[in-house]
Structure 1
Amino acid sequence: MTLIVTFWGTLLDILPIAAIVFGFQFLVIRKPVKRLPQVLVGFLMVWVGLSFFLVGLEQALFPMGELMATQLTNHEFLPSLAEGAQRHWSDYYWVYIFAFAIGASTTIAEPSLIAVSLKAGEISGGTIDPLMLRIAVALGMAFGITLGTWRIVMGWPLQWFVFAAYLLVIVQTLRSPRSIIPLAFDSGGVTTSTITVPIIAALGLGLATEIPGRSPVMDGFGMIALACLFPIITVMGYAQIAQWRATRRSTANTSTPLKSKLVGKGDHDAF
């Protein structure tokens, strides 16, 4: 029954998109759709695939995210978190390790990030390494989620973290290569997609539910905001490091002929 309801709901979600696309194609552009059978098969695959994904999401990813948060904060797993014991943020170290690991692994596997990184490498003519871009985004996502779990443990307001992160983004934007800035900002968006968001949301809500004194409504949400921001920071940081290394190589290559010329003249005092 759940599968039927999900298929029907997904169909209702996809129909408006198809209506707009085909409406513009036939009524505004007034041209037939190229490879129409292929397009229709594609829409069918999206409908079926998305429906199965949503069912799997409900039956696996959401429960697993909440279950991991519950198990990692249970006093049976961590005796230091027993009832009445004084709690310290470092007691939740397994939560931070899991958050970092799941953030990096889900981001590396994110289909939208893979597509964007390949397209960026293709358009840049090889200047942007797709794998290095994915690693930079994954590290940013992992750090953002880890920081988000730490914020929930500490109970600190989200706005402090968002303000500090945006301030760092602004400073980096002023100092980063102009060609990488749009890609860096887009990288923050593509990471929070089909695979990553459900696990992050479930982990945050589960953690806020299990930690005493935390509210799922006030503290459980907000991890996705940090998960969006930190990939921007790491991608621009990667670009700045790459630019610095390129400048160093260029300076070294420029100085080499001059040194050779001086040595040829016998001017050893220059060294």
Structure 2
Amino acid sequence: MNKNLWLKIKESISSVLPISVVVLILHLTIAPLPLGTLILFAVGTPLLILGMGLFTLGADLSMMMMGERVGAQLTKSRRLTFLICIAFIMGVMITIAEPDLQVLAQQVPSVPNMTLILAVAFGVGVFLVLALLRILFQVSLSLMLVGLYLAVFAIAAFTSPDFLAVAFDSGGVTTGPITVPFILALGLGVAAVRGDAGSHDDSFGLISLCSIGPVLTVLILGMFFNAEGGAASSSAPAAVENAGDIFRLFAESLPHYAKEVLIALLPIVLFFLVFQLAALHLPKIQMIKISVGLVYTYIGLVLFLTGVNVGFMPVGNLLGAKISQLSYNWVIIPIAMLIGFFVVAAEPAVHVLNKQVEEVTGGAISRNSMMAALSIGIACSLGLAMVRVMTGVSIWYFLLGGYAIALGLSFVVPKIFTAIAFDSGGVASGPMTATFLLPFAMGACEALGGNMLRDAFGIVAMVAMTPLVTIQSLGAVFKLKTILAAPIAMADEELEIIEL
């Protein structure tokens, strides 16, 4: 087996194993699962592991290189109109094809699927342009985020409460495993051409800005559509009675996700090929490497989505329902926090971001510190989400407080931590959130008789919000250590001079 692939698979095993153990312990103790559902989970887990390993290797070989080359070429052209047009088209095309967005659109009642998808895609296209212009013109990310989120909350005040959670969720699902590696690398490519001292700090932040566009457009849709005309579709699992049912579910799902991933990857590949023929002219050896990486990416994502949708989604739904029906159902809050702590490690795009952060910062921000900050943030978000499901408290209170703290921190921590934090919020809310955590919340909400749109939806928004605080807190600690270390370093230098 390819040495790099084996290393990626070992990383995947260490990421997926903890959440699998948690599910097994819950099954053996307080939330026994049907045998068929448990077998689906057992079959889906190895698919998840192999898929994540192939995807992360493929992203390294193809998506990252493609994004960096395109970003650098767009900047070198020195034609602002060209950059704006290409960035907008690219943002719209990638978003329309994002599988997670298709899933969300099917869950929202009273709004035609394509209307929601096009609105979200338009928002991503516009904000991808703004994100690239910010890098070129060195605009402060903190000031942009404050202004844009003030606009978001101002518009939210005039929008139907049922659309609030869905709007913030849409910002998370659009930054999926296909778009994240490409957009991250695009920012690095644009910043690299700029080449000044602050270019590394500005290379992050694209994901954070691209996540705001969909929130704004869906909030505006909420002014014109009435969500009370329908109910969110249930995520209850399909009945599984024998081995034939299990085989049938996987056999039907594999070609479905193969088609979805092909549709999602195709716009990026075609776009890159046009760029290659018109401007890049990369050597044959690099194109072969990119092609191999795309094959790995495709196969990996197909296996991952099949495993997580067929194997993990029904388990999430049943666990949420069973735990919420216990006489001591408050225990769902710490259990959700435990699940959240481990489940973020199973998000493919998280590994791409952590690797990129470690490389760009020269190891100053390590993968392990990033993962720890993300895990703590997601654990907090799941705990708060379960409080909402059990009490019906409006998501308004959590979002206003969370974003106020995050935006306040952005003015006191190093710039790069702010950009990475707001990027990580979008990255952490990927397929595992949509297909395990959201069904978990929906199962609990349905069992408790809550409002699905107001109480269960919003979990993606919570997952996207809390890392903004935890990673910037990591930045505050980093800054404090730097300040405290400075006098010691100066004293050492003075001592060396005296000794000389």
Tell whether the structures are fold-level matches, with TM greater than 0.5. Answer: yes
Which of 449, 454, 465 aligns to 1:229? It is 465
C-alpha distance 249-67 of structure 1, shift in aligned 2 (>3 A): same
Displacement, 1:252? 6.2
Q: Unaligned 5+ residue runs, structure 1? A: 80-90, 259-271
Give SS of 1:195's match. Answer: helix
Displacement, 1:167? 0.8
Displacement, 1:254? 6.5
Deviates more, 1:196-205 or 1:183-192: 196-205
- Tell me the distance in 1 between the aligned counterparts of 2:258 and 2:363: 41
**Contact 1:121–1:129 at 8 Å: present in 2 too?**
yes
Deviations 1:148-199 (A, max 9, x none): 1111111011122111111111211122222321111112122112334322
- Tell me the distance in 2 between the aligned counterparts of 1:209 and 1:138: 27
- In the other structure, the counterpart of 2:192 is none
- In the other structure, the counterpart of 1:200 is 437
**Contact 2:357–2:365 at 8 Å: present in 1 too?**
yes
**Contact 1:103–1:196 at 8 Å: present in 2 too?**
no
The aligned runs of 1:126-145 (5 Å cut-off) are: 126-145=363-382
Paired residue total = 243
- In the other structure, the counterpart of 2:351 is 114
- In the other structure, the counterpart of 2:290 is 39
- In the other structure, the counterpart of 2:340 is 103
Displacement, 1:230? 0.6
- In the other structure, the counterpart of 1:48 is 299
TM-score if structure 2 supplies the norm length?
A: 0.45
Deviations 1:124-163 (A, max 9, x none): 2232232112101110111012111111111011122111
Q: Which amino acid aligns with 1:111?
A: P
- Tell me the distance in 2 between the aligned counterparts of 1:256 and 1:13: 56
The aligned runs of 1:208-219 (5 Å cut-off) are: 208-212=445-449, 214-219=450-455
Give SS of 2:453's match. Answer: coil
2:151 counterpart of 1:151: no
2:265 counterpart of 1:6: no
Deviates more, 1:119-128 or 1:22-31: 22-31
Q: Unaligned 5+ residue runs, structure 2? A: 1-250, 495-500
- Tell me the distance in 1 between the aligned counterparts of 2:484 and 2:279: 53
**Contact 1:176–1:236 at 8 Å: present in 2 too?**
yes
2:273 counterpart of 1:22: yes
C-alpha distance 245-37 of structure 1, shift in aligned 2 (>3 A): closer
Displacement, 1:244? 2.2
Which of 31, 39, 58 aligns to 2:309? It is 58
- Tell me the distance in 1 between the aligned counterparts of 2:481 and 2:287: 49
- Tell me the distance in 2 between the aligned counterparts of 1:39 and 1:215: 46
Identity of aligned residues (%): 22
Displacement, 1:257? 11
- Tell me the distance in 1 between the aligned counterparts of 2:295 and 2:391: 46
Give SS of 2:312's match. Answer: helix
Instruction: Considering Cα pairs closer than 8 Å and 6+ residues apart, tell me whether 1 or 2 has the greater RCO.
Output: 2
TM-score if structure 1 supplies the norm length?
A: 0.80
Q: Which amino acid aligns with 2:461?
A: A
- Tell me the distance in 1 between the aligned counterparts of 2:284 and 2:430: 29
Displacement, 1:116? 2.1
Deviates more, 1:116-125 or 1:26-35: 26-35
Displacement, 1:236? 0.8
- Tell me the distance in 2 between the aligned counterparts of 1:254 and 1:208: 58
**Contact 2:309–2:435 at 8 Å: present in 1 too?**
no
**Contact 1:208–1:215 at 8 Å: present in 2 too?**
yes
Deviates more, 1:104-113 or 1:214-223: 104-113
- In the other structure, the counterpart of 1:171 is 408
Displacement, 1:241? 2.1
- Tell me the distance in 1 between the aligned counterparts of 2:400 and 2:318: 31
- In the other structure, the counterpart of 2:155 is none
Displacement, 1:256? 9.8
**Contact 1:70–1:210 at 8 Å: present in 2 too?**
yes
- Tell me the distance in 2 between the aligned counterparts of 1:228 and 1:104: 14
Which of 317, 326, 329 aligns to 1:92? It is 329
**Contact 1:136–1:238 at 8 Å: present in 2 too?**
yes
C-alpha distance 155-31 of structure 1, shift in aligned 2 (>3 A): same
Deviations 1:31-51 (A, max 9, x none): 565433332232222222222
- Tell me the distance in 1 between the aligned counterparts of 2:365 and 2:379: 21
Q: Which has the higher helix share?
A: 2
Which of 184, 188, 192 aligns to 2:421? It is 184
- Tell me the distance in 2 between the aligned counterparts of 1:122 and 1:7: 32
Q: Which amino acid aligns with 2:375?
A: A
Compute the RMSD of aligned alpha carbons.
2.5
